[in-house]
């Protein structure tokens, strides 16, 4: 889409709790997804939900996931059953004057849908490139591409970004007036959190004269909206 369509809430993607935090701009969905490294995939397995951390990559309005062809959760995600994929960024701890109003500042995208097993070779490569680049920008060009055996061991799933919701909380605590105006001088505010990168740790098997490339050395993890 040239111009991103707004998110059209369905029954299950309508934000009911804390609806003042809901965003309906598709650009917000893209921003939350694109800033993440991992999401949490929920599938139904043997009658119970299972939630596992999962890498992903986005191309347009398609989210690509992958996993071992032998993984039960991946099989459960591709048998036509509904799945849910959630990406959350924690931006701060919200300290309030009351225990009740303690909260977190966050950005969260929740995608509902049915995953499609990608079988066409070209799209499988598009998906794997998207996944690799989301995790490690520049790595698809720099590293050896998957060979036939590796491709055979990898299931690539596609999830349409058709049904999704975004919630974002920013700003100070929402304390009651009685607590704000009361005599107790309890500190209230936000302790911002940020994900930072540390000094790269070369593989012990790497020749010592291979320099850390800029794509690793200068990498910054997106944080805070």
Subset of 86-125 contacting a copy of itself (CB under 8 A)? 86, 88, 90, 92-93, 95-100, 102, 104, 106, 108, 110, 112
47 belongs to the binding site for a copy of itself (CB under 8 A): yes
Closest CA to 190 of 48, 90, 123, 108: 90
Question: Judged by CB, which is closer to a copy of itself: 5, or 141?
Answer: 141
Closest CA to 64 of 12, 133, 166, 6: 133
Question: In this chain, which stretch among 2-10, 21-29, 47-55, 115-123 interacts with a copy of itself, using CB under 8 A?
Answer: 47-55
Q: Tell me the sheet residues that pair with 110.
A: 86, 165
180 belongs to the binding site for a copy of itself (CB under 8 A): yes
Question: Judged by CB, which is closer to a copy of itself: 5, or 72?
Answer: 72
Among 20, 48, 120, 148, which residue interacts with a copy of itself (rule: CB under 8 A)? 48
Among 2, 19, 20, 70, which residue interacts with a copy of itself (rule: CB under 8 A)? 70
Tell me the CA distances in angstroms from 160 to 64, 77, 83, 205, one per residue in order: 9, 13, 11, 40
Closest CA to 154 of 68, 35, 47: 68
């Amino acid at each position: 889409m040239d111009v991103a369509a707004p998110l059209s809430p369905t029954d299950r993607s309508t934000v009911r709790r804390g609806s003042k935090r809901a965003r309906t701009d598709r650009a917000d969905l893209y921003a939350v997804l694109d800033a993440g490294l991992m999401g949490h995939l929920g599938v139904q397995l043997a009658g119970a939900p299972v939630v596992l951390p999962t890498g992903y990559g986005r191309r347009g309005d398609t989210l690509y996931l992958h996993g071992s062809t032998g993984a039960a959760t991946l099989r459960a995600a591709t048998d036509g059953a509904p799945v849910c994929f959630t990406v959350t960024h924690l931006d701060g701890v919200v300290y309030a004057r009351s225990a009740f109003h303690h909260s977190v500042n966050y950005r969260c995208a929740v995608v509902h849908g049915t995953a499609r097993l990608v079988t066409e070779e070209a799209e499988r490569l598009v998906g794997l490139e998207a996944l690799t680049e989301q995790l490690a920008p520049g790595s698809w060009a720099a590293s050896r591409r998957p060979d036939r055996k590796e491709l055979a061991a990898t299931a690539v799933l596609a999830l349409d970004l058709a049904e999704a919701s975004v919630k974002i909380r920013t700003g100070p605590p929402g304390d009651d007036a009685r607590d704000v105006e009361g005599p107790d001088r309890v500190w209230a505010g936000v302790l911002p959190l940020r994900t930072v990168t540390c000094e790269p740790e070369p593989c012990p098997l790497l020749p010592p004269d291979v320099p850390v490339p800029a794509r690793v050395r200068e990498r910054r993890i997106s944080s805070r909206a």
